[in-house]
Amino acid sequence: MSAAPADYDARHARLMRERDTALHRAETAEGMLSVVLAAIRREHNARAAWLASLPDGACGNPPPQALLDAEATTREALRRAT
């Protein structure tokens, strides 16, 4: 016994909606991953620049505001992604 055309159409429509939802989730996840990776790169670059600017033995110098801002951006991006 085969399914009626209306049953097939309804099942096909449901599968297409599920596919579209899955594709949207994948695109959203990929976009969020790009945001997180960009934030991590900015933080890494800010930290490297700060460390390179320190004279020998200057471990007590506080980090610049740019690095603190980059860290905050990374934390926020990671929070939003999870």
pLDDT tens across 69-82, in order?
999 988 888 888 77
- For residue 73, give its domain range: 5-81
Q: Which pLDDT does position 21 carry in this prediction?
A: 85
Q: Which residue has the higher pLDDT, 57 or 54?
A: 54
Alpha helices of 5-62 — where are they, by DSSP H?
A: 5-53
CA–CA separation, 26 vs 23, rounded Å? 5
Q: Into how many domains does the chain fold? A: 1
The string over 56-72, giving b where at least 16 C-beta atoms fall within 10 Å of a residue's C-beta and e elsewhere, is eeeeeeeeeeebeebbe
Q: Which pLDDT does position 10 carry in this prediction?
A: 87
Q: Which pLDDT does position 31 carry in this prediction?
A: 87
Give mean pLDDT, residues 8-32. Answer: 86
Q: Which pLDDT does position 79 carry in this prediction?
A: 85
